[in-house]
Amino acid sequence: MVIVGRPFFLIIALLVFSNPAHAKFNIGTDFGIIQDQNSLSSNSLDQRSYYDFNLYIKALERMNLYFGAEYLYISSLEPKDTSAVANMVATNILFAAKMQFGKDGLYSLTLAGSPTVQATYKVSGVSSEQWTGSAYLARLSLQPEIYKHVRLVAAITYYSATYTSKNQSTSSLPSQTNFSRSLFIPSVGLSFFF
C-alpha cells in the first residue's frame, strides 16, 4: 500500500499552476540490485533490490532546485536458517528535493523522506505482517547528458526506514515492537528533462 499525503498534491498543484508556461519537469527511473551467496548452503542467497521512479518540478531556476516525489519499491531477501527465508517488501512515496550542481548539472544531490511508510515482512511458513514507520533517502548522482534532454544516471543511494507499529496480530517477530532496515546500493537509470 502506498501512502501519499494531501500536502504533496497541494505543493505540486501550486508549483504547476503558479506559472504553467514556465514549469519545467524532470522524470527519471533507477534500478539497483546486490546479491551475495556462499557455497556452504543452498539457502544462502542474500539479495537487495531497489527500483525508483521519480517526478520533479523545477522550483528555483538559479539554484537548479527541484521539488517532487520518489516512488520506491524495495525488496530484501535473506536466509534466517537452513530452511527459512525472510522477505521484506516496501512500496512507498517519499517527498523529495533535488539540487543539480557542477558544469551543466553533471551532479545532483537528492534528499527525500516520509513520516509514514509501510512494509510487508514475511518469514517462510509464517503469515505475513504489515509494519508502519518513517523513512528517509539520500542520493548522490552523476548524470551526464547522452542525448538532448536525456541523462544517464549513475547513483549511490542510502535508504533507511524505522518501523514502529505492526498492523497484524500474528507476528514473525514476536519479541520486537520495532525494527529498522537500511540499504546502501549503487544504481543506474535514465532521467528526462522537459
Q: pLDDT by residue (tens digit) across 157-183?
A: 999 999 887 775 555 555 556 778 888
Q: Cell numbers at residue 154, please?
A: 549513475
Sequence ranges of the domains in the chain: 6-193
Alpha helices in the chain (DSSP H): 6-18
Greatest mean pLDDT among 3-17, 71-85, 152-166 lies in 152-166
The more confident residue out of 58 and 6 is 58
Q: Are 30 and 153 in contact (CB under 8 A)?
A: yes
Q: Are 48 and 28 in contact (CB under 8 A)?
A: no
Q: What is the pTM of this model?
A: 0.78
**pLDDT interval class at 98 (50, 70, 90):** very high
- Mark 107-144 as b/e (b = at least 16 C-beta within 10 Å): ebebebbbeebbbbbebeebeebebebebbbebebebe
Q: Which fold has domain 6-193?
A: Porin (2.40.160)
Q: What is the pLDDT of residues 117-164, one digit of tens each?
A: 988 888 877 778 888 899 999 999 999 999 988 999 999 999 999 988
Residue type at position 188? V
Residue 35's closest CA among 75, 72, 4?
A: 75
Distance CA 155, CA 32 (A): 9
The conformation of residue 126, written as its DSSP 8-state character, comes to S
Q: Are 54 and 29 in contact (CB under 8 A)?
A: yes
Mean pLDDT (whole number) for 83-105: 88
Confidence (pLDDT) at 66: 94
Percentage helix, strand, coil, to 5, in the chain?
A: 10, 65, 25
21 φ/ψ angles, rounded to the nearest 5 degrees: -70, -25
Mean pLDDT (whole number) for 40-67: 81
